[in-house]
Structure 1
């Protein structure tokens, strides 16, 4: 199934919003496997998970449409909405079968502090005091991250991954039009940007660390060449690797599978 979720209610240690598993299990025992376990506070425009659902003997399988409606009816959770359900083979695994994951990170410049943001944008972007970013330098730095590399320097401690080699297919920086919730007087001083990253899989906090490094480049604290040096150092404890972008600006945009 595909589901959208607000990050404020997400529990990273459980891999699901608070109360979800309890409500599902109150109806029938389920095995719930999520494709991407995100940090607390990270949002999901479309995450994926698989459920093993049993029917009474002799009953036909649930249709995807009926299952989607039933899940939303029983969940009744303000932070999550099941978008779509699919029938998959019994050996399907939501985490290991994914062929692509895309994350986007939202930035706002020209903001003295989070309290200056529209109430509808709070906890939806990283508010930066700087009036502008050197976007050309950020894009140049992002080019160093593309391709297959050992991303150990961008991995936080506690990662369960046995290998830190990943292939980054996309790393882009683009303007993000102000949302309709931003007032005209606010849009004159605020500018929104979106960083987008695509890979089959990511290391623990890799996206938030890459974002923090690219923002440092945009602010002039690092150069694109230094990003290449950091990547090649493979040192997660280097002096520049303490930077981690806040969780609330990050969105899991999509998880893709072959033949789905």
Structure 2
């Protein structure tokens, strides 16, 4: 951009002169690229002077590329139509040289909306949050491949579950010079040469990744961490929130039942048994029910059935579906179908070694709110917050408007129902969630398989697979 107009015009004329030699040189017809460039250069002085400086520079660059490519293209034409350069060879020539860069073990704090994804953990063939993150890191040349980046995940969320405080840790390309190898006397000079060709400042991982990630996955912060850091095992606590409307739920007994969940217990009756897990003791640091903070339709002392509340539970670690099982039991208590003491009964694995069959709470309102670490201090940039507000603001507006429309429709139906009730016509009312003749108490229901039964079944399946594999090997050897 620093070129003067006069110098730019001289460079254009010199490029035109070089290309004009291609016209008089004997041999095959110039390739299409050279002809196109010569046509571009063949402009009158008035036309060139009418161009702005940026257009002149662009014209010079394009003409130089075509002039360099013309002899090679002409040689290719003289050899006949022949074979084009193999595609694999072309890609290899453009491969990014990751060996010239060092790597930085980095923790990423990530927010995402879960309905579009099959969970957070990487699963081959499934659209997951980790899969999209790895795809973005590969596209931006921050990692070479999934196997070598050392990915770890702070909290595994199921299909449909969202997160505002998920943490991924992995090794990312850094602008820092690579450490010298032992006995390498040329490393300092090589590192200096590489550093001169790189940006001086650190890579802004938040900005780079958010440019290529889907709008429902946002990086909030990136923090360097030690090499032995694990997003999963270095975590000190995890916090989940489950949102629900008041409806006809009684909050006082629900809060009493939630308080009974606090402590160190065996939670096998509040989870789905994982055959790979043998220890079901977990520590719940706090479990509370409170009004949801801010936003439309939340509790504001109006005692409305549409007031929004949240069950917040904080613990060191959680079992598979543990939070959703807790919420399911709390809902039964809030509906008057069970007493708060049912929590104590289910935590007594001597009396109740297997979980009663009950339907767990839906996944949509569950949110992984936070994962805590003792040695990570997150630094949030204003740009990340602005991008999140912009990208998710439209979706929020759509939901708010839809909620307002449904509220208006519901209010009109209630106004119609009131005169009908006064006239003696029965008005339609929502079905009561309170205890009815169809409810079977939890302690009287059939139970799922015990932990010992699940482990025995898993061992039997593994044994059958091993025997089948051994049989296949013997058959192959015999043939």
> What TM-score comes out, normalization by structure 1 length?
0.80
For residues 110-130 of structure 1, the C-alpha deviation after alignment (integer angstroms, 9 at most, x for no partner) is xxxxxxxxxxxxxxxxxxxxx
- The gaps in structure 2 that reach 5 residues or longer are 1-107, 123-127, 179-190, 377-479
2 CA distance for matches of 1:236 and 1:34? 31
2 CA distance for matches of 1:38 and 1:61? 37
Count of residues in correspondence between the two structures: 235
Query: After the TM superposition, which segments of 4 or more aligned residues of structure 1 sit over 6 Å from their partners?
Result: 60-65
2 CA distance for matches of 1:220 and 1:66? 53
Matched, 1:161 2:277: yes
For residues 21-75 of structure 1, the C-alpha deviation after alignment (integer angstroms, 9 at most, x for no partner) is 2232233323322111101111101111101113474459997771221121232
Q: In structure 1, what is the equivalent of residue 90 of structure 2? A: none
**Counting strand residues as a fraction of each chain, which structure ranks higher?**
1
Matched, 1:211 2:327: yes
2 CA distance for matches of 1:40 and 1:236? 28
For residues 61-110 of structure 1, the C-alpha deviation after alignment (integer angstroms, 9 at most, x for no partner) is 997771221121232x121100000000011000000001000000013x
The structure-2 alpha-carbon separation of the partners of 1:149 and 1:11, relative to structure 1 and needing over 3 Å to count, comes to same
1:46 to 165, 171, 194: 165
Question: Is 1:148–1:165's contact at 8 Å kept on the other side of the alignment?
Answer: yes
Question: Is 2:120–2:157's contact at 8 Å kept on the other side of the alignment?
Answer: no
Q: In structure 2, what is the equivalent of residue 238 of structure 1? A: 355
Q: In structure 2, what is the equivalent of residue 92 of structure 1? A: 229
Question: Is 1:64–1:84's contact at 8 Å kept on the other side of the alignment?
Answer: no
Q: In structure 2, what is the equivalent of residue 174 of structure 1? A: 290
**Counting helix residues as a fraction of each chain, which structure ranks higher?**
2
Q: In structure 2, what is the equivalent of residue 143 of structure 1? A: 259
Q: In structure 2, what is the equivalent of residue 79 of structure 1? A: 216
Q: What is the CA-CA distance between 1:175 and the residue it aligns to?
A: 2.1
* Greater relative contact order, per chain length (Cα 8 Å cut-off, separation 6+): 1
1:192 to 305, 308, 320: 308
- Greater Cα offset, 158-167 or 221-230: 158-167
Q: What is the CA-CA distance between 1:133 and the residue it aligns to?
A: 1.3
- The gaps in structure 1 that reach 5 residues or longer are 110-130
How well do the aligned residues superpose, as a CA RMSD in angstroms?
A: 2.8
